[in-house]
């Protein structure tokens, strides 16, 4: 059994780089790429990735900061996304361990549930606060395309960050033997 060493300086540097990349992409990339009226939420993807890979207090703080940054860069109510990402990061990071090591199918399933919940609650709040006036537009042309884009970018993030970390290429199939062959909650 290998001993795990916790290098807090390395983790801080990694989190700082992740925050800078998240903020730059959210401001420069997101406004230019969209599907209908849906846009990728890089802040949500970063916060949930940190919650899944680190969890605990670090994940919750990352969720709050990313959500607050999102709120300050959009026209929506300030504090709503911060609250949602803090709550989602708390629940995803309850075990304070790397859930990505359980298998990418399970991690993607947790991300999908959180993403759909966050986007739908955000759309509903936009309707209730008067920022949007049409339910079909809000969910059909904004929330659902945003969910699709968020899932695609999260899957790409899994591919990029896993290959850079020296790990094996993520697999979403049941043939991933080195991670317990987990696929969407079932062990084969």
Residue 154's nearest CA partner among 46, 56, 39 is 46
> Do 153 and 42 touch, CB atoms closer than 8 A?
yes
Q: Residue 177: is its pLDDT beyond 70?
A: no
pLDDT tens figures, 69-90: 999 998 888 999 999 999 999 9
Type and span of the H or E element at 12: helix 8-28
Render pLDDT for 107-154 as a digit per residue (tens, 0 to 9).
899 999 999 999 999 999 999 998 888 898 889 999 999 999 999 999
Within 13 Å, how many C-alpha atoms sit on residue 111's CB side?
30
User: Structure pTM?
Assistant: 0.81
Beta-strand pair 182-183/34-35: unpaired
Q: Give the Cα separation of 44 and 118 in Å (integer).
A: 9
What's the residue count for the chain?
188
Return the structure tokens found at 147. Answer: 């969910």
Structural domains of the chain, ranges and CATH numbers in brackets: 10-187 (1.10.1760)
Q: What is the mean pLDDT of the chain?
A: 83
């Amino acid at each position: 059994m290998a001993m795990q060493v916790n290098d807090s300086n390395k983790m801080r540097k990694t989190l700082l780089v992740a925050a800078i990349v998240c903020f730059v992409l959210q401001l420069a990339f997101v406004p230019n790429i969209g599907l209908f009226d849906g846009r990728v939420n890089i802040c949500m993807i970063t916060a949930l990735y940190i919650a899944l890979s680190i969890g605990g207090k670090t994940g919750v703080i990352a969720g709050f900061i990313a959500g607050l940054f999102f709120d300050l860069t959009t026209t929506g109510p300030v504090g709503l996304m911060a609250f949602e990402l803090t709550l989602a990061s708390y629940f995803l990071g309850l075990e304070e361990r790397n859930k990505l090591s359980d298998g990418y199918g399970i991690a993607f399933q947790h991300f999908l549930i959180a993403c759909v919940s966050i986007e739908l609650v955000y759309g509903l709040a936009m309707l209730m606060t008067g920022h949007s006036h049409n339910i079909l537009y809000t969910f059909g042309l904004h929330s659902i395309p945003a969910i699709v884009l968020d899932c695609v970018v999260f899957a790409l993030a899994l591919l990029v960050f896993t290959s850079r970390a020296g790990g094996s290429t993520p697999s979403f199939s049941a043939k991933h033997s080195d991670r317990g062959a987990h696929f969407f909650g079932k062990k084969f």
